Amino acid sequence: MMKSGKYISISLYKALLLLVLAISISGLQAAVKLPRLISDGMVLQRDIPLQLWGWASPKETVTVKFLDKSYQTKADKKGDWKITLPAQPAGGPYTIQINDIQLKDILIGDVWLCSGQSNMELPIRRTLDLYADEVKQVNNLMIRLFRVPMYYNFSEKEADYQGGNWKAATQENILDFSAVAYFFAKELYNKYEVPVGIINTATGGSPAEAWISGNALKNYPSLEAEAQKCAVPGFIEETRKQEQQASNEWYSAMIKADKGIGEWHKKNIDTSGWNDYYLPGLWKDKGMDVKNAVIWLRKEFEEAKEDEGKSATLRLGYIIDSDSAFVNGTFVGTTGYQYPPRIYRIPEGTLIAGKNTVAIRIVTNEWGGIKEDKPYKVIIGNKETDLTGEWKYRIGTELPPSPPNTFFQYKPMGLYNGMISPATNYKVKGILWYQGESNTSRAKEYRTLFPDLINDWREQRNEPQLPFIYAQLPELNRPWKQPVESGMAELREAQRLALSLPYTGMAVTLGFGEWNDIHPLNKRDVANRLALEAKRIAYGENIVSTGPQLENMQIEGNAVILTFDSVGEGLYSNSIINGFTIAGADKKYVWAEAAILNKNQVKVWSNQIQNPVSVRYAWADNPEGANLKNKEGLPASPFEAE
């Protein structure tokens, strides 16, 4: 280059270029990164020091500006940083500046970490049969949800979530809110008038062991070994590959063998040679010889001339296991497993005046069928056409058992590392828990597993007094006429015994279940029961928040005297008390008589048992008729006393 005022030397040019690059690279390295929880719209916990954290270049200065004040810290050698701001009362919305990141629409209120399995996960959209009108009115910017995406890790604790963002309870978002968590938050907001944040990590089908850390897992060698197996490099990937190949081959063979594919869904099919099925009911209860199979069902129904061509809704209740549905040969919907309600839209132009046909293709097993007490109908506006009663069925093909499918999210420790650990630094008012169905086959183990989980979460967060509020399992399955053993009853007993831990509260949910559905719709009353316990445990209110809880028992002759606490104004006495069984040393339980003696005592006896040693209350999957409660109307917890 020419030496002139307009030019610089090549060496100087290179030096300047390198300097610019160095500054640019340095700026990139110094950029602060925040965890996904700390983002626009978040709710921070009131009345305790505000804790923020994240990552930056080693030794990088991090400046936080909040409410016209600045706070500084430095990242450590690994680039981790954490800063604590003074406690603040409820309020907002605020902005927070962290270096070059501006966080907007921040609220300060109460935050609840919600977890468990599908009954906590169940979204509002699944409960619209009960709450459609109420949901249409929802628009509360003070209630917010952070839905954590499902993720597991068996090798290490995750530092951050894989996705997620804060969403307010608006018409745009409300259908995705957990029903239990939303109604719980709504009850607290109505009571205390402060913002409520919900962090929802619930994962359908998850057992308790998936939610405990490696520290707590050491108490369970077999579970720990299972987690270590999943941590072996390549094990999950190889298992998935093999299982996916087997599944593809199974489905391919099923499609090829199914005689009804491409034909039996059509409108005009001759079913004169088909068998009769009176819907609803399980195959085995109807005497049908159905094992692993594809079964086709068909029914004709009438529609009036004025409804021809109108769009409609097809309700097909609860089918075990997966189904595809057709109306007049038109595909209207499919569901891949048994639990979701079948609500399918029949498009305009499908229905005709006179005879119409609905066909269902079901992939099922010997325990399959169509559950009673669910809606089976075609709905056009306010008009309904009943679909129960006579149907025709034919087996499309018989099948070998489906190949195994490993749900790694159910394996020990994985969900803790992936979905609980990243929130360890995020301060919360308490924990809300609804889980247990997946542990009923190992209910006695739950007596230690569940308390270990509670203690584990508190230890990991260094919060020994963290409120832990949980739902006891509601009724399920048909009621039995005689006393029986019950895994669900054992699980409820394990939940009751966990109340021995301090700062725990349990909502008894008997009366809110459905015998034919593991996902009962009444989530608002469950949430309100949970909120009662939260008001007492987390908010310090002096209220009666739960029904009678067994305190002790003593034997007097051929009777047992039970003493209860949490009786409020007293045990409700204006009814015959049902639900008790009693046993002698042989542990053969029989139905017992019961009488209320005073405000907090019940006498239990049976003329068949002269020397009683044990009493149970509401001890069944579905303890129909059990009715012990206090005058406040709150039901007693099921229990076993020996």
Domains of the chain, each with CATH number or no CATH: 265-398 (2.60.120.260), 549-641 (2.40.10)
pLDDT lower than 50: segments of the chain: 1-29
In b/e form, how buried is each residue of 321-354, taking b as 16+ CB within 10 angstroms?
A: bbbbbbbbeeebbebeebbebbbbebeeebbeee
Rounded CA separation 8/523 (Å) = 74
User: What pLDDT, on a 0 to 100 scale, did the predictor assign at position 38?
Assistant: 98
**Mapping DSSP to helix (H, G, I), strand (E, B) and coil, where does residue 389 land?**
strand
User: What pLDDT, on a 0 to 100 scale, did the predictor assign at position 632?
Assistant: 97
The CA-based angle 384-388-393, given to 5 degrees, is 130
Whether residue 595 contacts residue 486, with contact meaning beta carbons closer than 8 Å, is answered with no
User: What pLDDT, on a 0 to 100 scale, did the predictor assign at position 31?
Assistant: 87
Taking Cα atoms as reference points, which of 434, 459, 510, 518 lies closest to residue 112? 434
* Amino acid identity at 584: G
Rounded to 5 degrees, φ, ψ at 155 are -100, -35
Rounded CA separation 408/212 (Å) = 15
User: What pLDDT, on a 0 to 100 scale, did the predictor assign at position 30?
Assistant: 53
Q: Which token pair is 23?
A: 């500054």
Taking Cα atoms as reference points, which of 461, 491, 496, 458 lies closest to residue 476? 491
Residue 276 DSSP one-character state: E
pTM of the model: 0.93
Q: Which token pair is 415?
A: 């969900």
DSSP assignment of 526-541, as one string?
HHHHHHHHHHHHTT--
User: What pLDDT, on a 0 to 100 scale, did the predictor assign at position 18?
Assistant: 45
Whether residue 508 contacts residue 470, with contact meaning beta carbons closer than 8 Å, is answered with no
Alpha-carbon Rg of the chain, whole angstroms? 30
Rounded CA separation 294/282 (Å) = 15
Rounded CA separation 103/340 (Å) = 38
What region, left, alpha or beta, does residue 641 occupy, with left being phi > 0 and alpha being psi -120 to 50 degrees? beta
Q: Which token pair is 590?
A: 């029989």
Taking Cα atoms as reference points, which of 530, 429, 536, 460 lies closest to residue 113? 429
Taking Cα atoms as reference points, which of 8, 120, 100 lies closest to residue 507? 120
User: What pLDDT, on a 0 to 100 scale, did the predictor assign at position 181?
Assistant: 98
